Chains A and B, each alone.
Chain A
Amino acid sequence: MSDMDAGRPPGAPAPWETAPPDVDLSRVWTSVAAEVWRRRPGPLERAAGRLLRSPGLARALVTTPSLLLAWIIATVVVLFAGAGATLATGTPYVALLAPAVAAAGIAYAYGPGIDPAWELSQSMAVSDRIVLLVRALAVFGLNAALGLAASAASGAAAALTFGWLVPMTAACALALAAATLARSAIVGVAAGVAAWVIAVLSGAAAGGQFTTAVTNTALVLPYLAFAACCSAVVLYATRIPRGTS
């Protein structure tokens, strides 16, 4: 027996069972439950909702676990390992590391096997491509912000930051394209990281320094063109074909 039943004779109706006939108890219950059960968005989710103009997208960005994992990995690796090494040695490890980390984050941002409710999410009005884009931008933006801060701390902020943002875009676009085509985040990570390692080693072989891949301004356009091609592949691979009616 609950506290609310205490003192009531057996068989006697509870107070809520003797409500006036013009009171719709079902509606009252629904209103109370709605107020009690609703999830109050935190400051980050509210800000994202205003920025994206979609509470659904904000919820998808902030609360779903796949992004959180990528976010944590990117934060820990870039901030602590990369920035620490950069400060200690003067070599821009952040610039060299960030593209590979961001590529891993992008590949793990969305997809079957990554998002438990992926099948359901595909049938939603807020398109899965938009969710993917927002998650990708979030991972990219976080890495960019952290890298910018670390680069600033090491003294060669602007040139260095813009030097690695562009290759990071290319590595991320490749990881996303590979993950989308293969429907496997692992393949995406492997492609993104492998391509970046090859780029760094090729730069070292050609220029004598490991940092060539991020400091050679002649590579900016090829990086951007490569990123554009990979983005086109993603768009093509995730389209729903016309001609079904």
Chain B
Amino acid sequence: MNIDITDLTRRFGRTQAVAGVDLRTGAGVFGLLGPNGAGKTSLLRMMATVLPPTSGRLRLLGRDPGSYGPRREIRRRLGYLPQNLGYYPGFTVAEFVEYFALLKDMPPGQVPRAVAAAVGQVGLGDKARAKLRTLSGGMLRRAGIAQAIVNGPELLLLDEPTAGLDPEQRVAFRALLRDLGQRATVIVSTHLVEDVGAACTEVALMDAGKLVFQGTPDELIARGEGTGAAGDAPLERGYSAVLAAARSTTAAA
């Protein structure tokens, strides 16, 4: 199991962002769905070793991120795309990706080829020497994805990766996700249900800090059948049905 989480919680003052999440997963593309404020980003940030948990057990790639040595090993094998990708406007795309490759402790001799491969994979080859400040939002997102995959990560965490991408780019990105999921654990946090249907082998749904569903996309679709739940597509109906059931259970309790 590349991710092994037991009863993980995170509080911000009085707000419980993540409330007792259990999650185990290996290689493949794992979709993390949920409405705004469900706790997806907080959970992803804990898995990215950026945010320490308040309580619970978290093991990544078989290691404990609470200790310095194992945390560094995890980070060498980690790719992370934050929801709000900060960048240095004066860097070119290649410089940006190279900078983070070096901070990931990649052997310097391997960095130039890895950068070229990553930039090529996200389709930014013709913009590799363009300054980041000159790029569109979708291109910046792709530059962010390139830095996340430059080290060939075993654990790849992507927070809203398709935000700002046009339909053609999203199709290409889903193909890239499926390819990466052959050998790595890819966690994709999104509120776009169609991304999950097209790329994910497994899906979890979060609401109010808790996992209210975990299964395959087909199982999520099955939850919506015959319920009359709102949605234009089968996955959307499954999503709505699971959320409605979870909220009614909470309200009843």
Contacts and interface: CB of A to CB of B under 8 A. Distances in A.
B138 interface: no
A103 B146 CA distance: 36
A126 B98 CA distance: 14
Contacts of B103: 56, 59-60, 121, 124-126
Interface string B91-135: 110110011101111001001110111011000010011000000
B206 to A, nearest CB: 20
A107 to B, nearest CB: 19
Contact of B76 (A29, A31, A59, A125): A125
B116 A30 contact: yes
Contacts of A55: 102, 108
Interface of chain B: mostly helix, strand, loop or mixed: mixed
Contacts of A117: 85-88, 100
Interface residues of A, number: 36
Contacts of B129: 37
Contact of A120 (B64, B85, B89, B94): B85
Contact size class for B?
A: 35 or more
Contacts of B59: 245
A200 to B, nearest CB: 37
B171 to A, nearest CB: 20
A116 interface: yes
A241 B51 CA distance: 10
A46 B120 CA distance: 27
Contacts of A37: 92, 94, 112, 115-116, 119, 128-129
Interface stretch (B19-27, B66-74, B197-205): B66-74
B52 interface: yes
Nearest to A117: B86
Interface string A39-57: 1000000000000001110
Given A34-B113, A120-B82, A245-B58, 14 more contacts: A30-B113, A31-B116, A33-B120, A37-B115, A38-B111, A38-B115, A55-B108, A116-B87, A116-B88, A116-B89, A117-B100, A126-B102, A126-B103, A127-B68
Interface of B: 48-50, 52-53, 56-59, 64-68, 71-72, 75-76, 78, 80, 82, 84-92, 94-95, 98-100, 102-105, 108, 111-113, 115-117, 119-120, 125, 128-129, 147
